[in-house]
Amino acid sequence: MNPNRGFSETYRCFPIAMMQNGSDRENVNYGGKIILPQSALEKLSQLNISYPMLFRLLNGAEKKHSHAGVLEFIAEEGRVYLPQWMMETLETEPGSLIEVKNVTIPLGSFVKIQPQSTDFLDISDHRAVLEKALRNFSTLTVGDMVQINYNNKVYGIKVLEVKPHFEDHQGISIVETDLEVDFAPPVGYVEPSSQNSLQPAKSRMVIDAPKPVKTGFAAFEGGGQSLRGKSKGALVDTSNNMNTDSNDENDDGPFNLPFGQLYFGFPVVPPPSENDKIKNEKNVFTGSGQTLRTKKK
């Protein structure tokens, strides 16, 4: 066994799109694996390293780092190709120098992520989408701004927290492990107001409508006399003059009733009980009358 376990090389980094036929491999751009040259494979095969091969990517100029797995060893000598989101996380430009060093990081058990747009909420099944997208990743590091592609739309996701957490590398491996995922509210998301969500829409029934104010001439307001000499009162206007202005100061709000109770605008008379029926039957034909014939003395 070769005790030498260290692999550390400096390469010029370029995005996947600048690789030969890189435009035809967009799926590689939405993952967490890099492409190294053939010489890197020859050196790694002679070292006693752990598998899967994981690497620490360090931009010394900006003091930014991340972690990645390796997908292939087909890059030109002296070059390493990275996904676009990894270039942005490391704050590096095409052709800049970065250090690639093999590392061993623990298997992760928990990660907390934050979508960078509220459009992520439009996805119906977040779990299935993430499970499929994370298959292209070998590691996750705190501070990474990863990108996934779903339905030809790119979603940015930031890694906020990982467990187990170590200050020296702040990364976890997600290869063949059960990972618990927690979501933080997306950037730009606003919680709905509790008052607005709980306040029902105002409604008013005809029986609750205020009486209309009499202004000007109104037809058929007078009284009258019947043939029997009895006076008749003024006619009542039964038209529906409901006021639908929701800004009325006298509005008491919605007409709420307990569950199972109805309101028809008049007292509800319960049906007669059995005892009432018996009493009514006993009182049938209990009145008195007069006959046309007078009684004989």
Per DSSP, helices labelled H in 50-103 are 84-90
| 120 within some domain | yes
Enclosing domain of residue 133: 8-183
User: What pLDDT was estimated at residue 6?
Assistant: 82
**Mean pLDDT of residues grouped by 10 in the chain (297 residues)?**
70 91 78 94 89 92 91 94 94 94 93 92 88 92 92 92 89 91 90 61 50 59 65 52 52 68 66 74 65 66
| 152 within some domain | yes
User: What pLDDT was estimated at residue 78?
Assistant: 94
| 97 within some domain | yes
Q: Give per-residue burial for 89-99: e unless 16+ CB within 10 Å, then b.
A: bbebeeebebe
Is-above-0.85 flag for pTM? no
| 258 within some domain | no
| 232 within some domain | no
Report the distance separating Cα 56 and Cα 101, nearest Å.
5
| 87 within some domain | yes
| 213 within some domain | no
How far, in whole angstroms, is CA 266 from its chain's centroid? 46
User: What pLDDT was estimated at residue 260?
Assistant: 65
User: What pLDDT was estimated at residue 2?
Assistant: 45
| 250 within some domain | no
DSSP class of residue 158 equals E
Q: What is the CATH number of the domain that holds 34?
A: 2.40.40.50
Report the distance separating Cα 82 and Cα 75, nearest Å.
11
